[in-house]
Chain A
Amino acid sequence: MFNIAPDHAIGLYFGLLALPLALIAIRLHPARHRVPGTVLGASVLMAISGAIHLGLISTHKEEPITALLFLMNGVAYILLSLAFPWRWWRPASASLLAATLLGYLAYIAAGFDSPDQVAVATKVIELTALGLVLVPVRGDLDRRMWRWASLAVALPLLTLVTASTVWIVDLARPDPQHAHAGAVLQETNEVATAEQKAAAAQLYAETKAAILPYQDPRKAFADGYRPGGPSNMPSTHWMNQAYVDAGYVMDPHRPQGLVYANSKHGPVLLGAMFQMKHLGQFGPDPGGPLTAWHQHENICFTPFGFEFSLMTPFATCPLGAIDLSVAPMLHVWIVDNPKGGPFAVDIDDEVVKSIVRA
């Protein structure tokens, strides 16, 4: 959802190219002074959306139905963007925009495509254009009531449905590089070789031996590890800022973080966490697919309660939260983690719960 699909990138270039052309076309249009600015704005946005659709035809030639739909959509948008003096322009434009939005949602819900930045940006443009098309204008009293109703109810509802559908589809069908919501895995070979298995086992043994003294949380505290976040959660990451700043790379004796389960009898050590210093800089990967690092991207973080959530498809976070990404990390779980293994992105919730209950 936050990437640009290679076959969609050309749509973005077409859209950017269409912006100055649409502005020039509107400026040269003889009827431009007879309509309100909202109509001109909607025309420009529809021209951009039309150009994006037309641009996508070239990369979808092997999908004839999709290419034909792009062609019809693109041509209809371009024609309507120029036909704003037409009496039926508003109903025609509103219908086309709503049908395109709903058609796209049905398309991704059926699994024919995955949402990406070009598609979501186009939907933002179309929703904005729809809003401008529906704005009631003076001197058009007989239709103002339904336009107010559409603007106040239907448009927010359509925005909500669009964002929810894109989000649900993205979370339900993540691409192979997304281990779970918000985490991007390092690219590796698919199956671990014998050498990689041995290297992973060595890393595990060295890390486990090095962090066992930290089963006593007082020792961890004395060595500079500090708990972060709320203590009412099942587990807490304790970070050593000096080791983070020093930038040690996968040093079993100096892991940047430790993970503890918050049991009734105090913290119970679950594992270690290595972290790189910079975003996008994945660490060494001796175990291939077994020790792939992961980077948390597009997280909404709030200092209120030190909590996290995910950014919406329209790139917004809740009020009071900011969008951030965290440098790549690799966990080494020293307790049994049957679902994902010793280097999994997450530890099994059931394992943590059983330790907390014990």
Chain B
Amino acid sequence: MPFALAGEVFMLGLGIASLLLALATCLLAIGVLWRRRRARRWVMALEITCLVGSLLLLLLPIGANRGPVALLTNLALPIAVLILLRKQREAFA
């Protein structure tokens, strides 16, 4: 969002959209803790989307970051969430 100050006005909109998505993700996480089936489905859809997008970026020759942090944030965490939620289907109401 600071880049909006340097004239990158579209980045401001994208930054706000990212913050709203982060907020929605937090609410979905609370839904998962409350064992809501719909929250689980949404989280799985979100994580699969993130994973597919990240894999595409890693495979395409566009110089996307392949450092430990990027692998941890964009691959390891979504995979861990998917594995944890996949095993607990019967625990959700």
Query: Footprint of B on A, CB under 8 Å?
Result: 2, 4, 12, 37, 41, 117-118, 120-121, 124-125, 128, 135-136, 152, 156, 232-233, 279, 297-298, 302, 304-305, 307-311, 313-316, 318-326
Contacts and interface: CB of A to CB of B under 8 A. Distances in A.
Contact of A156 (B3, B26, B74): B26
6 contacts: A279-B63, A305-B9, A315-B73, A319-B17, A324-B62, A325-B63
B33 A318 contact: no
Nearest to B58: A323
Interface string B41-71: 0000000000000000100001111011110
A272 to B, nearest CB: 23
A319 B30 CA distance: 22
A309 B8 contact: yes
B93 interface: no
A320 B14 contact: yes
A326 B62 CA distance: 8
A313 B13 CA distance: 20
Given A315-B74, A324-B62, A302 B10 contact: yes
Closest 10 CB pairs of A and B: A325-B63, A305-B10, A315-B70, A318-B14, A309-B3, A121-B68, A307-B8, A324-B62, A319-B18, A304-B10
- From A12, A136, A298, residue with most partner B Cβ within 10 Å: A298
A152 B84 CA distance: 21
A304 B65 CA distance: 21
A168 B8 CA distance: 19
B63 A2 contact: no
A319 B67 contact: no
Interface of B: 3, 7-11, 13-15, 17-18, 21-22, 26, 30, 33, 57, 62-65, 67-70, 72-74, 77, 84
Contacts of B74: 315-316
Contacts of B73: 124, 314-316
Contacts of B15: 318
Given A309-B3, A316-B73, A324-B62, A4 B17 contact: no
Contacts of A321: 11, 14
Given A152-B30, A319-B21, A120 B62 contact: no
Contact of A121 (B18, B21, B69): B69
Contacts of B57: 322-323
Nearest to B20: A319
B55 to A, nearest CB: 13
A305 B13 CA distance: 11
Nearest to B35: A138
A128 B11 contact: no
A279 B65 CA distance: 12
Nearest to A136: B33
B16 to A, nearest CB: 9
Contacts of A304: 10, 13-14
Contact of B63 (A152, A305, A316, A326): A326
Nearest to B27: A152
B11 A307 contact: yes
A322 B67 contact: no
B67 A4 contact: yes
Nearest to B22: A156
Nearest to A326: B63
Contacts of A298: 65
B72 A124 contact: yes
A4 B73 CA distance: 16
Contacts of B65: 2, 297-298, 311, 315, 323, 325
Contact of B64 (A124, A302, A323): A323
B63 A297 contact: yes
Nearest to A324: B62
A307 B67 contact: no
Contacts of A307: 3, 8-11
A325 B62 contact: yes
A118 B72 CA distance: 11
A321 B1 CA distance: 12
A304 B74 CA distance: 23
